[in-house]
Structure 1
Amino acid sequence: MKILSVVGARPNFMKIAPFIRAIEMYNLTNQVSIQHILVHTGQHYDVRMSEAFFKELGIPNPDINLEIGSGSDAEQLGYTMIAFEKVLVKHKPDWVIVVGDVNATLSCSVIAKRLNFKVCHIEAGLRSGDMTMPEEINRLVTDRLSDLLLTPDKLSSENLRNEGTPEAKIHFVGNIMIDTLEANKGKAQKLTIEKIIQSNLIPETIFSPKIPNDGEFALMTLHRPSNVDSEKTFVPIVNFLTNQVTKNHILIWPIHPRARKQLLFYDLWDKVKNHPSLILLEPLGYHEMLRLNMGANIMLTDSGGLQEECCVLGTPCLTLRWNTERPITLRKHGGASVLVGNNIERIREEYFHTLKLNRYPSRPELWDGHTAERIVKKLVEMNESKTI
């Protein structure tokens, strides 16, 4: 069986790493091996956002790099389809594997089905209900086209059923992101907060000389256009961070390139870089970010992946979004996260409430570190049965 997997952006790398390891283990213990081809579209293409993650997670160099780079959504989608079509025609895989909800997921699933190749979507069925999110469009189209839909939780499986997806296509396998977390917790735990800060501190910043211990800092990530692209939204958030959060904690903020650009654009850069209780860091590697999450007293984020990590680690989490495609991580479902949107009064209210909470790890069903093994087993079963 020949499998061709597609990655395009950093969230994909964390999901493909355990899948590649599971294929390697399968090939060691079975007479019939799986031929695997890894395609990187190049949507995230700089060292910190791409290459470093490949090395850190032990992902082999891509067999093919389409080198699409930056551009508008339409440019990325179009250029990826053009380049990926040639890859499919040349290699003729039995399965095309797409993960998550980035532009590469959509474009590669569309062109694969146009050429009549079977598509498997890892992390299928996630729904935010927000059609203004590009990722929601990517998820909906990819799931509609895919032949095999592998879901991370039962809520996602039910979403697909409610949309009329045939039961035979839906398979609940668990969350592959947790495979990566479980495989890397030990390595992350060996890192020190001091070393992470010293290695990644943005040079021109000023911060308190005290390096925080576990439980003494808040952790922040912010990158979504809905939070950083509007001055009316972004400025109040920054003011809340600098005026309120830093009263209770040292705040560690790894800066996403988009957020950094907007801080400069709205003349906020000097305000944050000179704050004595705010530590600004460059984008972090997986182990570094995981280590900080393990030690944070509270997380403020608009990242879907960090919601999942906070759920398993028990880090109390304020999700700066009005909706989430990962409701299983919310407190009402037993998780660690609460939706606060970008309304400052709502954020403030939940922030002070959350400070009173203890860490409460929660592990949804099949978030056990063995999802990739189940995925490989299911693909082999499907290929042998020829049911699709």
Structure 2
Amino acid sequence: MAKSNVICTVTGIRPDFIRMSEVFRKLDENFTHIMIHTGQHYDTMLSDIFFEELSLRKPDYNLCIGAEGRLHYDQQALLGPAIIKCLQENNIDPAIILFLGDANTSLASIPLKKEGYHIGHIEAGMRSGDEWMPEEINRVACDHVSSLLFAYHNDYVNNLMSENIPAHKVFNVGNTIVEVLNKVVDYSRKGAKNYILVDIHRQENVTDPRRMEAILDFCNALGSMLNLPLNMLQMPRTQTIMSEHRIKMRNIRFIPLMSYARYIEAVQDAAILISDSGTAQEEPSLLGVPVIVPRTATERPQAVVNGSTMLIDLTHQSLEDAVKFVHSYDASKIDNSWLGNGTASEKIIEILGKWCDK
């Protein structure tokens, strides 16, 4: 007996709105698509602007769980019940509920699975090997309760196979960011390459003042060695820790958050991107901008293997290695095939269609 034609998506943070944008569009065209915004990111520059810029319709429901000062466990306690209540009160009976990525929103997949809903996970199978990383906890949990797992690369498929997830659930569809980027970027634009762009916001960095200070020391030292100014995205949690602990920025200046298209231009204009973000290891590879990641592990090792990204441990040696990395970087030698061919959303829709017909 065929399943219903209703597909529900649950999304809550800036990168996920962007990476799901073409999936959203195609779901609207091919299914009865119910879009739920958890409200994990609620600031205009972290949420609303991306719907406007990417010409996405408004979500059907906004659960508003991301109020200022609300911690991850507070969000988690509210999120599962809020989604289930939304579905039940509005008589929504989806064939499957789709999540993307590894934000706190993805952990709502657990209570939903227990309630008997099928789960689908886009960006499945990524593993950094760091069991204490909050995102690692989220992505592993979501993978293991999913009926359909959409992976970006065969390495991620192999990760899932090694965890005994049945092969018939897993599909390599490529990375959803490629087609999104292709819609907003001018690849002929060379960019000024006259500053270092800094984006630091991960929990392990913005909750540890000593580590935050070490990262800024590294950034300032690299800027001095390369004679480049530094512009740092003004992320709320980053600004908070620096203000509370009076961490000096020295030669770094804050710049406001921006729309996706403007952010891509800012990356093009940068000589280097220093970021602790996972997703920030993807677009710069396609744009020919080297990325330095102040982390000990990454769930996107392909970016390191293919030479677009360098991991650093904030030692003096890592500073010297970073300078060598930047000077030797050659965009023409970067192999971006690990990101797929820009047809991820089409493949996801095709797989969902076949699955719903069973």
Q: TM exceeds 0.5? A: yes
Q: CA deviation at 1:230?
A: 2.0
Q: CA deviation at 1:78?
A: 1.3
Q: Report whether the alignment pairs 1:297 with 2:283.
A: no
Equivalent in 349, 362, 382 of residue 320 of structure 2: 349
Paired residue secondary structure (2:129): coil
**1:323-338 paired onto structure 2 within 5 Å:** 323-330=297-304, 332=305, 334-338=306-310
Gap runs ≥5 in structure 2: none
Q: Which residue of 2 aligns with 1:60?
A: 57
Q: Which residue of 1 aligns with 2:127?
A: 127
Q: CA deviation at 1:286?
A: 0.9
> Aligned-residue CA RMSD in angstroms?
1.9
Paired residue secondary structure (1:79): helix
Q: Which residue of 2 aligns with 1:106?
A: 107
Q: Which residue of 1 aligns with 2:293?
A: 319
Work out the CA distance in 1 between the residues paired with 2:22 and 2:307: 23
Q: Which residue of 1 aligns with 2:72?
A: 73
Q: CA deviation at 1:106?
A: 1.1
2:233/2:256 contact within 8 Å kept: yes
Work out the CA distance in 2 between the residues paired with 1:310 and 1:365: 13
Q: CA deviation at 1:344?
A: 3.2
Bigger mean CA deviation after superposition, 95-104 or 15-24: 15-24
Q: Which residue of 2 aligns with 1:30?
A: none
When normalised by structure 1's length, the TM-score is 0.85
Are the structure 2 counterparts of residues 52 and 246 from structure 1 closer, same or farther at C-alpha, using a change threshold of 3 Å? farther
**1:213-224 paired onto structure 2 within 5 Å:** 214-224=192-202
**1:197-212 paired onto structure 2 within 5 Å:** none
Work out the CA distance in 2 between the residues paired with 1:365 and 1:345: 31
Work out the CA distance in 1 between the residues paired with 2:84 and 2:125: 26
Are the structure 2 counterparts of residues 124 and 283 from structure 1 closer, same or farther at C-alpha, using a change threshold of 3 Å? same
Deviations 1:292-334 (A, max 9, x none): 212321111101111011222221111111101111111x2x1
- What one-letter code is carried by the residue in structure 2 that aligns with 1:338? M
Q: Which residue of 2 aligns with 1:375?
A: 348
Q: CA deviation at 1:346?
A: 4.2
2:215/2:294 contact within 8 Å kept: no
Q: Which residue of 2 aligns with 1:83?
A: 82
Bigger mean CA deviation after superposition, 167-176 or 79-88: 79-88
Q: Which residue of 2 aligns with 1:208?
A: none
Paired residue secondary structure (1:355): helix
Q: CA deviation at 1:365?
A: 4.5
Deviations 1:316-360 (A, max 9, x none): 111111101111111x2x14001113x232431222112212324
Misfit runs of 4+, over 6 Å: none
Identical-residue share of aligned pairs (%): 30
Q: Report whether the alignment pairs 1:48 with 2:27.
A: no
Work out the CA distance in 1 between the residues paired with 2:246 and 2:112: 45
Work out the CA distance in 1 between the residues paired with 2:285 and 2:326: 16
Equivalent in 252, 263, 267 of residue 231 of structure 2: 252
Are the structure 2 counterparts of residues 285 and 113 from structure 1 closer, same or farther at C-alpha, using a change threshold of 3 Å? same
When normalised by structure 2's length, the TM-score is 0.91
Are the structure 2 counterparts of residues 346 and 122 from structure 1 closer, same or farther at C-alpha, using a change threshold of 3 Å? farther
**1:122-161 paired onto structure 2 within 5 Å:** 122-161=122-161
- What one-letter code is carried by the residue in structure 2 that aligns with 1:370? T
Q: Which residue of 1 aligns with 2:34?
A: 37
1:183/1:369 contact within 8 Å kept: no
Are the structure 2 counterparts of residues 176 and 355 from structure 1 closer, same or farther at C-alpha, using a change threshold of 3 Å? same
Work out the CA distance in 2 between the residues paired with 1:117 and 1:111: 9
Work out the CA distance in 2 between the residues paired with 1:172 and 1:43: 28
Q: Report whether the alignment pairs 1:283 with 2:257.
A: yes
Are the structure 2 counterparts of residues 255 and 347 from structure 1 closer, same or farther at C-alpha, using a change threshold of 3 Å? farther
Equivalent in 18, 22, 44 of residue 22 of structure 2: 18
1:153/1:174 contact within 8 Å kept: yes
